């Protein structure tokens, strides 16, 4: 299977636009371009039963984020205060940055 190009990357703040978590905002923890999915902090949380082991000292029921399709999220613009479409442009030093299509603010800090 070929890796898909994602419009969001690790560390981005995104908003969910459809599904049971519609309207929730969170930070991208993991981007999985091969699957076309992302894991977002506090979104799509499921309960998982874990046995005690060396990595998990305390067993029991834990809350764990599950992957969400990247097409269900939009990058969050702090200036617009909403989910926005993004574009790409080059700066004077030939570095590529992402920007908000609504207000023109740069999303890459």
42 within domain boundaries = yes
Instruction: Supply φ then ψ for residue 28, to 5 degrees.
Output: -75, 120
Contact in structure between 28 and 14 (CB atoms under 8 Å): yes
106 within domain boundaries = no
Name the strand (E) or helix (H) holding 28. strand 25-32
Q: What is the pTM of this model?
A: 0.85
Give the tens place of pLDDT for each residue, 64-92.
999 999 999 999 999 999 999 999 999 99
Give the tens place of pLDDT for each residue, 13-68.
999 999 999 999 999 999 999 999 999 999 999 999 999 998 878 889 999 999 99
Question: Cα(41)–Cα(38) distance, rounded to whole angstroms?
Answer: 10
Q: In CATH, what number is assigned to the domain containing residue 28?
A: 2.30.30.30
**Residue 41 lies in domain:** 13-50+62-81
Find tokens 């993004």 and name the residue: 86
- Among 6, 63, 2, 64, which residue's Cα sits nearest to residue 38? 6
27 within domain boundaries = yes
70 within domain boundaries = yes
Contact in structure between 99 and 91 (CB atoms under 8 Å): no
94 within domain boundaries = no
**Cβ count near 32 (within 10 Å):** 14
25 within domain boundaries = yes
7 within domain boundaries = no
Contact in structure between 19 and 85 (CB atoms under 8 Å): no
73 within domain boundaries = yes
């Amino acid at each position: 299977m070929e890796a898909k190009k994602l419009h969001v990357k690790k560390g981005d703040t995104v908003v969910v636009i459809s599904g049971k978590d519609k309207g929730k905002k969170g930070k991208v923890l993991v981007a999985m371009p091969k699957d076309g999915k992302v894991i977002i902090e506090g979104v799509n949380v499921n309960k998982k039963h874990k046995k005690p082991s060396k990595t998990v000292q305390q067993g029991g029921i834990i809350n764990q984020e599950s992957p969400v399709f990247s097409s269900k999220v939009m990058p969050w613009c702090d200036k617009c205060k909403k989910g926005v479409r993004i574009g790409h442009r080059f700066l004077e030093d030939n570095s590529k940055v992402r920007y908000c299509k609504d207000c023109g603010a740069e999303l890459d800090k």
